Structure 1
Amino acid sequence: MLPPVNLRPPFNITRTSHVVLHVADLAKSRQFYVDIVGLVVSDEDDQVCYLRGLAEACHHSLVLVQTQGEATCKRLGYRVFFEEDLDLAYQFFKDEGLPAEWADVDYQGRTLHVTDPIGTRIEICATMETRERQYLNREIFKGAHAQRLDHFQIFAPDTYALCAFYSRLGFRNSEYLAHGDKLLGAFMYRKGTCLDLAIVQNEGPKLHHFAYTVSESHNIFDACDFAGIYGYGTEVERGPGRHGPGGMLFVYLRDPDGHRVELFNSHYQTIDTEIEPVRWDAATLSTNVRWGLPAPERWYFEATSFEETSLIPAVEKPKPETLESYVQKQLSAKNQA
């Protein structure tokens, strides 16, 4: 069911690092991520804003870039352990026939721009400037007190094929979603928790969401309250709820451009090599496991495109039970009673 994992990969990705997003109104997006999500500003000007979580020492985990065009995702960022890993990564992508070029990126060390086999735009660095962690400076806390960036979820036209690619790079599966012998969702990690990259089958590549941890479960409700206060009450898209895969409490919000951010209260460790991935059956999985309603249709199918990247149709599109189909089913059952 799952492709083999290379536990001694050609270069050492250590973790999810940062997200770079285009936004239509920089000031409006800045307010959303500071006053609702609770990030802090590291540096900014009238064209770009660099943000990080309260527990993050590295300069940025979210970069907002003003655009006059479509609000796309520019890049997903990963960290590698050593500078030499960058050279090894460059050679790997070149050998695979995939784009790879060096880039000068503010506040980062030497940076490599690459794309994976479906066109996901990625940048990799080994170092970044640092700032003081703010997690003890409670007088500056806002919104949901987001702590650190944890993972991305992307859409891919063929989950198995892309899972196989990242497995070659040392990503292991903590859990996976399958229907019969078809892999529909892969929850993969490098840093020793259960997730750095989630791959779900759909038209892609697209960025479904990026996720920040919060330190207290009530911070998830804080995010909802502040979303309502600042005019985003209808953009509390899914939750609060509890995931099946991972088991964490969560909420999903949509920002002013429709980019989706998740806030959740962390998850378990997966460092030991003998731990086997957990299989979830797509035909029987309840989206919130034991309680809560299914997610709305847009949560399953809407996502952010990558800059200047063509979409590839899915090998097989998912057919989840949505909030809309659930309500319709309940209404039909009531009318027949």
Structure 2
Amino acid sequence: MLPEVNLRPPFNITRASHVVLHVADLAKSRDFYVNIVGLVVSDETADTCYLRGLAEACHHSMVLVQTEGEATCKRIGFRVFFEEDLDLAHAWFRSEGLPAEWVDAPYQGRTLHVEDPFGTKLELCATMETRPRMYLEIEKFKGAHGQRLDHYQIFSPDTYASCAFYSRLGFRNSEYLSHGDKLLGAFMYRKGTCLDLAIVQNDGPCLHHFAYTVSESHNIFTGCDLAGIYGYSTAVERGPGRHGPGGMLFVYLRDPDGHRVELFNSHYQTIDIEIEPVRWDAATLSTNVRWGLPAPRRWYFEATRFEGAAMLETADKPKPETLESYVQKLSATNSNQG
């Protein structure tokens, strides 16, 4: 069912690192991520804001860039272990016939722009400038006290092909979602917890969401409360709830441009080589699994496009039970009983 994993990949990706987003109103987006998510501003200019979580020492895990055009995702970033891994990555992507270009990125060391076979925009770097961690300066905490960027979820028109590509780069599956012999969702990791990159079947490439950890479960509810206080009550899109895959408490919020951010409370450890991926059957998996109502339709189908990437349609669009279909079915059942 799952592609074979290369446990000695051509270069060493270590973790999800940073996300670079276009935003229509930089000040508004900055306030959202500071006051609701609880990130810290590392540096900012007239058109760019660099933010990090309270537990992060590296300069940024989020970069907000003012745009006059569409609010796309410019790049999702991964760290590599050594500088030499960047040179190996450059040669490998070129040998695969995929784009690979050296760029200058402020506060980062050498930076490489690459793409996967479906046009997902990736950024690789080995180092960043550092700043003091803020996780003990409690008097300065805001929002949901976002600690660190943990993972991304992307849409791919062919989950199996995307999973095979990242498996060649050493990504392993902690869990996966399938229907019969069809792979519909792959939950992949490099850093030894259960997730750095989730890949889900849908039109793409798109960024579905990026996720920040919080240290206390109540921080999830604090984020929701503050979203309401600051005028983003309808931006609380899904949850709070508990995932089936992974088992984490979560909530999904939409920022002023519709970019989706998840806040969640923990992950289990997966670094040991003998740990096998867990299979979830899409035919029996409910939308929330543990408890709560299904997610709204937009959670399944709306996502942020990558800058300049051509959209590809999938042959197997998901057919989930949504909040809308659940309410319709419930209404029909009640009408029949009446």
Counterparts in 2 of 1:99-110, with a 5 A limit? 99-110=99-110
Give distance in 2, aligned partners of 1:183 and 1:288. 19
Q: How do residues 1-337 of structure 1 correspond to structure 2 at under 5 angstroms?
A: 1-337=1-337
Q: What is the rounded CA distance, in whole Å, between the counterparts of 2:174 and 2:315 in structure 1?
A: 24
CA distance in 2, matches of 1:250, 1:131: 28
How far, CA to CA, are the matches of 1:308 and 1:161 in structure 2?
21
Q: Distance in 1 between matches of 2:189 and 2:266?
A: 14
Residue 315 of structure 1 and its aligned partner are, at CA, apart by: 2.2
Q: What percentage of residue pairs aligned between the two structures are identical?
A: 82
Code of the residue aligned with 1:84 in structure 2: it is: E
**Match of 2:284, as an amino acid?**
T
Runs of at least 4 residues off by over 3 Å: none
1:255-313 deviations in whole A, cap 9, x for unaligned? Answer: 00000000000110001010000000111111221210000000000000000111000
State the distance in 1 between where 2:223 and 2:326 align.
Answer: 26
Q: TM-score, with normalisation over the residues of structure 2?
A: 0.99
CA distance in 1, matches of 2:207, 2:254: 13
The CA RMSD measured in Å over matched residues stands at 0.4
For the residue of structure 2 that corresponds to 1:55, the secondary structure is coil
Counterpart residue identity of residue 181, structure 1 = D
Mapped contact 2:37–2:223 kept (Cα < 8 A): yes
Q: Gapped runs of 5+ residues in structure 1?
A: none
Shift of 1:59: 0.1
CA contact (8 A) 2:287 2:322 kept: no
Once the two structures are superposed, residues 28-52 of structure 1 have per-residue CA deviations (whole angstroms, 9 ceiling, x without a partner) of 0000000000000000011000000
- CA–CA distance in structure 2, aligned partners of residues 3 and 30 of structure 1: 40
- Alpha-carbon deviations, 1:85-129, whole Å to 9, x = none? 000000110000000010000000000000100000111000000
Q: Which amino acid aligns with 1:251?
A: V
Tell me the distance in 1 between the aligned counterparts of 2:222 and 2:287.
23
Q: Distance in 2 between matches of 1:162 and 1:92?
A: 17
* CA–CA distance in structure 1, aligned partners of residues 283 and 323 of structure 2: 16
Q: Say which SS state the counterpart of residue 32 (structure 2) adopts.
A: helix
Deviations 1:55-74 (A, max 9, x none): 00000000000000000000
Aligned counterparts of 1:72 and 1:238: Cα–Cα separation in 2: 22
TM-score of the two chains, using structure 1 as the length reference: 1.00
Given that 2:287 and 2:320 are in contact with CA atoms closer than 8 Å, whether structure 1 keeps it comes out as no
Looking at structure 2, the residues matched to 290 and 303 of structure 1 have their Cα atoms a distance apart, in angstroms, of: 24
CA distance in 2, matches of 1:319, 1:326: 13
Q: What SS does the aligned partner of 1:152 have?
A: strand
Q: Secondary structure at the match of 1:122?
A: strand
**One-letter amino acid of the structure 2 residue matched with residue 238 of structure 1:** R
For 2:83, give the aligned amino acid.
E
Say whether the 8 Å CA contact 2:243–2:290 is kept in structure 1: no
CA distance in 2 between partners of 1:220 and 1:307 (Å): 30
Q: Number of matched residues?
A: 337
